[in-house]
Structure 1
Amino acid sequence: MNVFIVNGSPRKEGNSAFIAKALLEKYPDATLLNLNEMNYKGCQSCYTCRKENTFCVVNDDLKNVFESLAEADLIILISPNYYGFVTGQMKLFLDRWYCLKDANRMSKMKKGAKLFFVVTQGAQNRDYASNTTSWAKKVFESFNLKFYSYIVPGCKSDSLDMVKMKIDDLKMHLNMFV
């Protein structure tokens, strides 16, 4: 199975990074992208990808990612909840997904591909991520991706206790989804 794990957190040892590492153990052949360690920018609205039916032509660390991402069977996106949304790093990455649709706005993603969206947050109330997960569901289903979201509440910035407690449950949900 071709798996992509994308960590949108800037913290190398934080809750989202812990989840990414734990899932990399589950999928050792997966491609792991730690977005904060990459040099890239958002979509430049050049429209070359749509006009020439190609992938993104911006010359940065994401240039060669999208063709492989389009062939993934499973994409796992992990982001902390920043003010009710994904991190800036994740948003810039997702803006570049514009190239993953053709000139007719048809998805270039592999048929039957799945996207598992994980949100970590400090707040105990899972509803704080509901706007983010609702938005994500609409966006990723527009790429014909089967979508599932998982929220990990109570993630303190100075402690991994909650993600350590929830990682087996998260993996169980992932197993049921896949």
Structure 2
Amino acid sequence: MKIVGINTSPRKGSNSRIALVKALKTAKSKGADTVIYDLNDMNIRTCQADNYCVDNNGKCILDDDLQDVYKSIVESYGVILATPIYMGNVSSLAKIFIDRLHCLLRVDTVRDKKFSIIASQAAIEPPMYEYIKNNLDITSDIFQSIGFELEDVVLLIGNDSEEAILNKKDQLDKAVMVGNKITR
């Protein structure tokens, strides 16, 4: 069983990445092989919206580092997407990744694969929380429409500095829960 972690934060001390690593360590302790992709360190371009993938059985026209990620996803049991929340939504790297999953839309390579989202934000205000939760629900709907089976959407709030999550046992416990659920 392989679990793929997709980190879409550009920061080295990212709270969302710390939570992702915690979830992947939990999955590994349950026997999973794990891999993490830090998209900020990769050569990735935006979707060209040319429908090349539609006409070519899911093959993306772009020959960049995301090709390795696609292969890993196809071989996986599940995927965990980790994103910081910027301006009330997923990071721009998360959006690029989501857009580029269009190539998997019409092929059965991801049917019934598990999927979870871990998101971290600085804000703690309830109105902002509801807005972000709605955006995360939309994001999870996109993954489900591709064929993934949603396991979890976890929003970790109040992380207003790098590595803030390291002092929040309740949030680290939620990351452990994600790792446990995705390996079931």
TM-score range, shorter chain: 0.7 to 0.9
Q: Which residue of 1 aligns with 2:47?
A: 43
Flag structure 1 segments of 5+ consecutive residues without an equivalent.
none
Structure ranking higher on relative contact order (CA contacts 8 Å, 6+ apart) = 2
| TM-score with structure 1 setting the length | 0.87
Q: Which residue of 2 aligns with 1:92?
A: 96
State the alpha-carbon separation in 1 of the partners of residues 155 and 175 from structure 2.
9
156, 168, 175: which one aligns with 1:170 = 175
Q: Give 1:99 deviation, angstroms.
A: 0.5
- Residues 160 and 46 of structure 1, relative CA distance in 2, 3 Å threshold: same
Q: Give 1:112 deviation, angstroms.
A: 2.2
Query: CA offsets per residue over residues 76-129 of structure 1, 9 Å max, x none?
Result: 001011111111111111111010022xxxx43333211111110111233242
Q: Residues 133-172 of structure 1 correspond to what in structure 2 (within 5 A)?
A: 133-147=136-150, 148-161=152-165, 164-165=168-169, 166-172=171-177
Q: Which residue of 1 aligns with 2:19?
A: 19
Contact 2:121–2:156, Cα closer than 8 Å, also in 1 = yes
- Residues 127 and 101 of structure 1, relative CA distance in 2, 3 Å threshold: same
121, 130, 134: which one aligns with 1:131 = 134
> How many residue pairs get matched?
174
RMSD, aligned CA: 2.0
Contact 1:55–1:66, Cα closer than 8 Å, also in 2 = no
Amino acid at match of 2:95: K
Amino acid at match of 1:15: N
Please state whether the residue corresponding to 1:109 is helix, strand or coil.
Answer: helix
State the alpha-carbon separation in 1 of the partners of residues 121 and 166 from structure 2.
10
Hey, which of these two has a bigger chunk of helix by percent?
2
Q: Which residue of 1 aligns with 2:56?
A: 52
State the alpha-carbon separation in 2 of the partners of residues 26 and 175 from structure 1.
6
Flag structure 2 segments of 5+ consecutive residues without an equivalent.
none
State the alpha-carbon separation in 1 of the partners of residues 167 and 25 from structure 2.
15
Q: Give 1:163 deviation, angstroms.
A: 6.5
Q: Does 1:65 align with 2:69?
A: yes
Q: Which residue of 2 aligns with 1:30?
A: 34
State the alpha-carbon separation in 2 of the partners of residues 173 and 23 from structure 1.
6
